[in-house]
Chains A and B, each alone.
Chain A
Amino acid sequence: MIRAYDLTKRYGDTTVVHGLDFTVRPGTVTGFLGPNGAGKSTTLRMLLGLDAPTHGRSTIGGRDYTTHPAPLTEVGALLEARAVHPGRTAFHHLMALAHTHGIPRSRVEHVLDLAGLTDVAHRRIKGFSLGMGQRLGIAAALLGDPAHLVLDEPVNGLDPEGVLWIRNLLTSLAAQGRTVLVSSHLMSEMALTADHLVIIGRGRLLADTTVAELIRAAGGASVKVVTPQATTLRDLLTGRNVTAEPGAAGDELVVHGADAATIGRIAAAHTITLHELTPQTGSLERAFMELTQESAEYRTAAPLTGAAA
């Protein structure tokens, strides 16, 4: 369990993090969301004892992080900025960190393998791609087999295979009962991995909610259907708690209140031809945009109003 109590960070006159209170529970993946400059990294650095809060405090596993006798077994951390010496090999980097806790070489080799870095373990980090650097960061985070994971933008710079690997890893770590806190500025990414969301903007807490709740608050998930028999399907679908509105094109419907499987089944039962049947996460993206719009640090002159988002 990770807890923040009135966590505040000020640099001179600028308040970067403003009285944050939140709880991150074990067994789930919690997304820490906010636009660029919202104060996510500063908050994570305070959790890890790298930055001292101006006011307030935080605990990991019930204690201030810096007072743990074996912090690497308590928290595995991946920071946004690289935290490695490029002149060292991946193996030596991890081994040096492992020595501080008496973690054996076998564990270092295990996490290298887990991160898919065994082949490059004895190459200097200097030559690593962004994605390999991220994998090394994850390997370092897993070194102490920690009960909590704090990862700042872990999918940054990863190729699609790497992104998928991270998603599965996060889900399985949470399923083992660990507490997983992952920061991102991408709602779409968090919608796929996180169960719980802590959303901040300009250093303030905007929402502490679940993905499901946010979808509901945003007007529910919708499904885009393209069919030449739009009117027929619309009449069949419309009913209790289900609405089907015409979409941008004439043969398009936007359905709320029924999932893709249900719609497909109904269409099949009535031999209606479907050209497209797509669950939309656009509403979630829009809900996030609306929440954070007021607080976004950099805004485009004309806010994007995408139909498909």
Chain B
Amino acid sequence: MTIPAPSPYRITAVRVLHSEWHKFRSLRSTWVTLLSASALVLGTGVTMGATYTPGGGDADIDTVVLVLYGTLLGQLCITVLGVLVTAGEYSTGMIRASLIAVPGRVPVLWAKAAVFTAAAFTSLFATALLTFLAAQRLLRGTDQEAGLTDPGILGAIAGNSAGITLLGLIALGLGALLRSVPGSIGAFIGGVLVLPEVLGMLPYDAVESALAYFPTQAAGALGSATPFPGAAAAGPALLALCLWAAVSLGAAAVLLRRRDA
């Protein structure tokens, strides 16, 4: 009778991160959603640049907002990716294998969030830079001409990418909370995208000022080089978005620890 000798294998945070990165990159849906987001952002940005008429209806729009208009579409792809990272494991049953391998459970969620954040932000930021440069070639000589080094431009481009990444993190948390892909996408559309619009209809000033710190509005404020009326400043907007993401992930972590898998 031989019992296997003590092995060098053991769980570490870095290894869980490595595992989640391997899971992330080995699914086709990851690349489909990331590349779709990039294609939508770039395609829309170039179209905006090519069709811009100086002095037309778009003249008063912030140049970064104009060029990155496609991120409104791209953000949906990133949201779906965020949901797939967590809820996708529940819908397939993979979560049981993941939790047997890492019975501490919560490190799996942190690792997923970290991998998603790094991948989504990198991809979004690279796409946004490329889109800005491509669109600006077409906008040369117009009143929307701007350079990367002009005040506020680079910050707004990074802010746009950070905002969408954080919205995606909220979706990732929702996916872990609701454990259903369609349910989580529905909840995100209803709770994060539509609800603030409905609340905005209410005739209360307090609601109006609070709305500036809701996820989509805060993300919008982050992605603009020139502050627009009624919006939060970049710092508080970023803080608000981080808090929203923290609440979503925190609730997911608590339930992940408590619920049967």
Binding site for B on A (CB under 8 A): 26-27, 45, 48-52, 65-66, 68-73, 75, 77, 79, 81-89, 92-93, 95-103, 140, 144-145, 147, 175-178
The one of A70, A77, A96, A175 that contacts B100, using a Cβ cutoff of 8 Å: A77
Contacts of B96 in A (CB 8 A): 50, 79, 81, 83
Q: Which residues of A contact B1 (CB under 8 A)?
A: 27, 175-177
Q: Given the complex of chains A and B, what is the CA–CA distance between A32 and B27 in angstroms?
A: 36
- CB pair A103–B97 under 8 Å, yes or no, is no
Known: A85-B92, A87-B28. A70 touches B9 (CB 8 A): yes
Could you list some 9 contacts between A and B, CB below 8 A? Answer: A73-B10, A96-B19, A96-B26, A100-B19, A100-B102, A103-B9, A145-B7, A177-B1, A177-B3
- Please, which residues of chain A bring their CB within 8 A of the CB of B59? none
- In the complex the two chains form, what is the Cα distance from A214 to B261 in whole Å? 35
Separation in Å of the B41 CB from the closest CB of chain A? 25
Q: Please report the total number of B residues contacting A with Cβ < 8 Å.
A: 39
For chain A, what secondary structure do more than half of its interface residues adopt (helix, strand, loop), or is it mixed? loop
Inside 8 A of A27's CB, which chain B residues have their CB? 1
Within the complex, the shortest CB–CB distance from B24 to chain A, in Å, comes to 9
Does B137 lie at the interface of the complex (its beta carbon under 8 Å from any beta carbon of A)?
no
Knowing A69-B11, A101-B10 are in contact, say whether A87-B29 is a contact too (CB < 8 A).
yes
* Closest chain A residue, CB of each to CB of B259: A52
Across the interface, name the chain B residue whose C-beta is closest to A88.
B26
A76's closest neighbor in chain B, by CB? B100
**Known: A83-B96, A85-B89. Contact between A71 and B101, CB under 8 A?**
yes
Question: Do A66 and B103 touch (CB < 8 A)?
Answer: yes
CA distance A93 to B27 in the complex (A): 10
Bound complex: CA A88 to CA B94 (Å):
10
With both beta carbons as reference points, the residue of chain B lying nearest to A9 in the complex is identified as: B260
The 3 A-B residue pairs with the shortest CB-CB distance in the complex, in nearest-first order: A92-B26, A99-B19, A66-B103
**Bound-complex Cα distance A96 to B17 (A):** 10
Task: Note all chain B residues with C-beta closer than 8 A to A50.
Answer: 96, 99-100, 260-261
Of A73, A84, A87, A144, which is in contact with the most chain B CB atoms at under 10 Å from its CB? A87
Contacts A49-B99, A87-B27, A88-B27; is A70 near B22 (CB within 8 Å)?
no
* Cα of A95 to Cα of B25 in the assembled complex, Å: 12
| Residues of chain A with a CB closer than 8 A to B3's CB | 26, 147, 176-178
Known A50-B99, A70-B7, A83-B96; contact A99-B27, beta-carbon cutoff 8 A: no
Chain A residue numbers with a CB within 8 Å of B200 are: none
